[in-house]
Chain A
Amino acid sequence: DSGVTQTPKHLITATGQRVTLRCSPRSGDLSVYWYQQSLDQGLQFLIQYYNGEERAKGNILERFSAQQFPDLHSELNLSSLELGDSALYFCASSPRTGVLSSYNEQFFGPGTRLTVL
């Protein structure tokens, strides 16, 4: 158990709909990262928040948005869903941001499996 929780575990929805994925980081971790894993694209970084502020952006579609709340939990919102959005969505957390000589490993949650029909 990494200490990172994600809800829901599974989500089945239809094209055109909107969903929200939730992530609770490990206690004390300030950084939250979102990743998408699909069969054809592999693991892709989407976006990072640090202490409530967006810190880095990857291949995140405009239909997707995220935020980190004052209690440090994060939500990933996916709208106008398409079949191709079906994937595993992972959240990870780490104590800090940046690459330091000291320890800043990322702890991944179990993921949310999204199926768009």
Chain B
Amino acid sequence: DAKTTQPNSMESNEEEPVHLPCNHSTISGTDYIHWYRQLPSQGPEYVIHGLTSNVNNRMASLAIAEDRKSSTLILHRATLRDAAVYYCILLGSSNTGKLIFGQGTTLQVKP
């Protein structure tokens, strides 16, 4: 599975949009881009995933660059509850589903 690079930390104000970037320049054509987050004192939770097209769900949006070498997780209106570590993970088509976590981005949301 290809490697991802994320900023160590980001800050946001409550009720403002947040754009969390992820670089994956060695992504292959069949790698899926997954995002998970880990709230304080909890297990990780799934946020969103995509392959080529932008994706939306009730939690967030995922914008994937045309060359797929980067992606951005968008939280449309950050709340205090969104303060967490966000992980961008690539899953290759031969992957069994196991998640290989990097360092992730620690998002701080200020009231």
List residues of A whose CB falls within 8 A of some B CB: 2, 4, 31, 33, 35, 42-45, 48, 50, 55-56, 58, 90, 92, 94, 96-99, 101, 104-111
Q: Do the beta carbons of B32 and A99 come within 8 Å of each other?
A: yes
Choice from B36, B43, B87, B97 contacting A97 with Cβ under 8 Å: B97
B51 interface contact, C-beta 8 A: yes
B98 interface contact, C-beta 8 A: yes
Instruction: Give the residues in chain A near B92, CB-CB below 8 Å.
Output: 99
B91 interface contact, C-beta 8 A: yes
How many residues on B have C-beta within 8 angstroms of the other chain's C-beta atoms?
24
Q: Do the beta carbons of B44 and A108 come within 8 Å of each other?
A: yes
In the bound assembly, the distance between CA atoms of A83 and B101 in angstroms comes to 23
B95 interface contact, C-beta 8 A: yes
Q: Do the beta carbons of B46 and A106 come within 8 Å of each other?
A: yes
16 more A-B residue pairs beyond the given contacts A33-B98, A43-B99, A99-B96, with a C-beta to C-beta distance below 8 A: A2-B43, A35-B99, A45-B98, A45-B99, A45-B101, A48-B97, A56-B97, A58-B100, A92-B99, A94-B97, A98-B96, A99-B92, A99-B95, A106-B44, A106-B97, A107-B46
B103 interface contact, C-beta 8 A: yes
Instruction: Give the residues in chain B near A97, CB-CB below 8 Å.
Output: 96-97
Instruction: Give the residues in chain A near B103, CB-CB below 8 Å.
Output: 42
Instruction: Give the residues in chain B near A35, CB-CB below 8 Å.
Output: 99, 101
Residue of A nearest to B95 (CB): A99
In the bound assembly, the distance between CA atoms of A111 and B42 in angstroms comes to 8
B16 interface contact, C-beta 8 A: no
> Closest Cβ of chain B: how far from A115's Cβ, in Å?
16
B25 interface contact, C-beta 8 A: no
> Closest Cβ of chain B: how far from A70's Cβ, in Å?
21
> Closest Cβ of chain B: how far from A24's Cβ, in Å?
14
